[in-house]
């Protein structure tokens, strides 16, 4: 089986129209350089290296930037593996296919993609919808320049620009579909105002609770969008404007201790509800030793059967409330979680 067909086979139940796009638009054209995890950090890989095609056409994430520093690939190529945190990547193809299917974009729709990355996802959209229907933005100028070049080499000419995705992209609004290939702490209201009534918004919620929540919203009125969480979890690089630090300082404010019967379990469906209700909260989880921390000084620490909380908000109370709601509704799957975004903010409930 040739490389492209191996990748298409990994797409699973993706619709024939998008499977054809994956066949027609080669991933390798947008991944001439990337990183591979190795002992000691990340090694720089280039087209022509041994095993290059096997890595590119595998159904896996491939980091393309470390620590927001575009020069680190060149450094690693010359000096060997570098340490750091991936800040841009080529997403897992099967997840991309599922998201394109769920988005429901079809010829005649105008699409805004937030998070250009390599440009491959924009190319898939251009192949299906036509370049004139696609706008793609990224905050990283170096990534945008390479993506624009790769798109043009295949004859695709979407609108490609350097912009902060938190603001959407007003110059080409309105859009029938908005797709974020980066994660956000909350859905920006700017996206809702730039979408047509009846349009869809698909994004990934980023939080340290680890639930990987992906809501699909429909704009029901100007400035109002409602929808539900998809069954599939997702883990994208966070939008830079909404990143959480790996670990916030633990507050020295006094706390109050009480018993608890709830512990954070990122694999449980209710944790997606908790993640939506705790935007901006960082979490550490080492067995039953668990912390919740927020930049407003709120904190909670649980050792399994007791929790101590301090600061202006009781974060563990919010966590327990999400678990109680989920239990009261019969412990449903995450698809029962509904979301509404309007001018007052983001709201969640269980159907």
Which amino acids are annotated catalytic? 91
Longest pairwise C-alpha distance within the chain: 63
CB-based contact 30:22 (threshold 8 Å)? no
Which helix H or strand E contains 335, and what residues bound it? Answer: none
3-state secondary structure of 96: helix
Per DSSP, 207 falls in state: -
Q: Distances in Å between the alpha carbon of 240 and those of 6, 88, 114, 198?
A: 33, 11, 12, 28
Q: Which residue has the tokens 């698809």?
A: 335
- What secondary structure, in 3-state letters, does 61-93 show? CEEEEECCECCHHHHHHHHCCECCCEEEEECCH
Torsion-angle region of 338 (φ positive above 0: left; ψ -120 to 50: alpha; else: beta): beta
CA quadruple 68, 74, 75, 80: dihedral sign: positive
């Amino acid at each position: 089986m040739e490389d492209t067909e191996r990748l298409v086979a990994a797409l699973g139940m993706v619709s024939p129209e998008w499977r054809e796009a994956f066949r027609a638009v080669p991933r390798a054209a947008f991944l001439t350089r990337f990183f591979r995890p190795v002992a000691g950090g990340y090694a720089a890989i280039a087209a022509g290296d041994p095993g290059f095609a096997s890595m590119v056409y595998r159904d896996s994430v491939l980091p393309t930037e470390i620590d927001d520093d575009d020069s680190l690939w060149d450094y690693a190529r010359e000096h060997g593996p570098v340490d750091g945190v991936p800040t841009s990547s080529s997403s897992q193809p099967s997840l991309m296919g599922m998201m394109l299917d769920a988005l429901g974009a079809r010829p005649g729709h105008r699409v805004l993609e937030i998070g250009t990355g390599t440009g491959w996802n924009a190319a898939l959209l251009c192949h299906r919808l036509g370049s004139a229907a696609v706008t793609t933005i990224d905050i990283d100028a170096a990534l945008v320049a390479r993506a624009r070049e790769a798109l043009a080499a295949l004859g695709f000419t979407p609108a490609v620009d350097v912009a902060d995705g938190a603001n959407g992209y007003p110059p080409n609004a309105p859009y029938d579909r908005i797709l974020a290939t980066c994660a956000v702490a909350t859905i920006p209201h700017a996206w809702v105002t730039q979408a047509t009534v009846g349009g869809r918004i698909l994004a990934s919620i980023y939080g340290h609770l680890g639930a990987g929540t992906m809501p699909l919203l429909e704009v029901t009125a100007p400035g109002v969008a409602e929808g539900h969480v998809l069954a599939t979890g997702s883990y994208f690089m966070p939008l830079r404007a909404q990143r959480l630090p790996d670990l916030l300082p633990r507050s020295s404010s006094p706390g109050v201790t009480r018993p608890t019967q709830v512990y954070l379990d990122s694999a449980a469906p209710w944790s997606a509800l908790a993640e939506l209700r705790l935007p901006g909260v960082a979490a550490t989880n080492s067995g039953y030793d668990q912390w919740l921390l927020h930049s407003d000084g709120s904190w909670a620490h649980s050792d399994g059967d007791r929790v101590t909380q301090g600061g202006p908000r009781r974060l563990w109370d919010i966590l327990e409330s999400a678990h109680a709601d989920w239990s009261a509704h019969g412990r449903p799957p995450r698809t029962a979680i509904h979301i509404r975004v309007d001018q007052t903010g983001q709201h969640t409930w269980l159907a």
